[in-house]
Amino acid sequence: MSYLAFLSFIVATGLYWLMGPGGPLHSFDFLSVFRSQISEEEAGSSTRSALILVVAPSVVFALVYILVESVFGSAVMLLLGTAALFFAFGREDFPTLTQRFLARARVGDYEGAAMVIESAGGDSAADDVDDFGDVAASFFSVMALQRWFGPVIYFLLLGPIGAVAYRLAHLTQETKTPLSDSLMRLLEWLPSRLLVLSFSVFGDFDKSIEHLTDKGMTLDVDTGDFLEDATDAAVTLKADASVYDRLSAVFHLLERSFLLWLGAVALLVLI
């Protein structure tokens, strides 16, 4: 990993966590030209829709990246790499949403807490309070994965193009022609397993590793269920712990994992 790539990573992460998403990268619908190629009759996952909604815009970005690189050289990473990673983090403001959720859960306003989840496009339906805690833990764990941990992994492995492609894949889930569940699980397999591995550093090591080895080696497990069970394994709570206590512990675990990844990336640069 180059120093410019690391600088792009730090700048994009700082912008997202300190200022939140926004600006033309998250407000301008530049993908509409690709979505317009999908007819109204088309529905469900297909190779054609994947090529149009994910592969084609990724190729266009790659060509633009190469063109800008021919003019600005390695500085293209700082110019377009930062923008690409910031775009990959998505529109939802994860830090603000977590604080809004905790503020409502702290006073027992579970209806208000559920509205926070629904405002971000989640499903808050639950049978009881304990089940709502499961739903919330799954929702926010997956959001953290998709809004930071996943984009970072693909940025490190495949560069800015990998981060953009990862985000584009998730954007298809908002259309009538989303990528298949099996393909999305494959896409999220590596970042979700590395995230759970980081849970073992700060949570219950034995239970986290046991969960990782029992359920982490297959692609059949839903990512949300996998992460929800992972937080349960890593976090030790009292039997009568409230939703606020449980989600506070989950957010604390995610924050520590975030710091661990920051340190790991910095170490990669030094090596």
CB atoms within 10 A of CB 270: 7
pLDDT digits (tens, 9 = 90+) for 65-96: 999 999 999 999 999 999 999 999 988 889 89
What pLDDT was estimated at residue 207?
Answer: 95
Q: pLDDT band at 103, cuts 50/70/90?
A: very high
Query: 4 and 75 in contact (C-beta within 8 Å)?
Result: yes
**Predicted confidence (pLDDT) per residue in 159-177, tens digit:** 999 999 999 999 999 899 9
* Residue range(s) defining the domain that contains residue 179: 3-270
Residue 188 CB: number of other CB atoms within 10 A? 26
User: So what's the pLDDT on residue 254?
Assistant: 95
Q: Are 208 and 200 in contact (CB under 8 A)?
A: yes
Give dist(CA 113, CA 103) in Å, integer: 8
C-alpha–C-alpha distance, residues 233 and 200, integer Å: 9
Burial class (CB in 10 A: 0-12, 13-18, 19+), 17: middle
Task: Check pLDDT > 80 for residue 28.
Answer: no
- Poorest-pLDDT segment among 26-35, 118-127, 134-143, 185-194: 26-35
CA–CA dist 62, 162 (Å, integer): 10
Average pLDDT along the chain? 92
Q: Count of domains in the chain?
A: 1
